[in-house]
Amino acid sequence: MKTKIAVLVSGGGTNLQALIDAQGETLLSGEIVLVISNNRDAYALERAKKAGIDTAVVLKKECGSQAAFEEKLKELLTAYGIEVIILAGFMTILTENFTACYPKRILNVHPSLIPSFCGEGFYGLRVHQAALDYGVKVTGATVHFVNEIPDGGEIIAQKAVYIEPGDTPETLQRRVMEQAEWILLPQAAETVCAELQKQDPRK
């Protein structure tokens, strides 16, 4: 039995694609069985459908509150028997009521070397702009477990990427994705899945 994975997305889904590709190349012993988005128009949903993966859309405004939104997510995850949750560009901060239900089972990829340029307000191009503004010579990506503190959970893996002269937030974002995020996230997911399989002899 493979470890069942759900991926939560909000946008284009390039990190989801990296996970789908890793699964296709049997670099991932877990199986992505569900992709959930909080954005009906997320292209990530199309990527999932092309790969034959079930999708669901959960909108906070339709749920009426953060608590109801998280409850709906939990219902879906339970229905699919999800064991590992991967946040791949999921633009909603989850509360302790949710994260505490899945200790060391939720992974997130962040486009910097935590603890630099992370926490509330640091997402997307803002992270890369901050790195350039500060003048650091090295940035990268971090995969970490998720708890109630934004980008505050235990680090699983990091990969460095050099900043080059003339970089813009856009060029840096692309290089960090290509050289770090798309490599690191599948590897970290495999590390967590392999550990869970060791703990469960039925797998």
Q: Cα(19)–Cα(32) distance, rounded to whole angstroms?
A: 8
Is 144 a residue of the active site? no
Bridge partners of residue 143, in order along the sequence: 109, 157
Q: How far is CA 33 from CA 8, 43, 68, 86, 105, in A?
A: 12, 17, 23, 12, 15
Place of tokens 């992974």: 107
Considering the candidates 47, 86, 107, 110, report the single residue annotated as catalytic: 110
CA dihedral (27, 32, 38, 44) in degrees, to 10, reads 60
Catalytic residue positions, numbered = 110
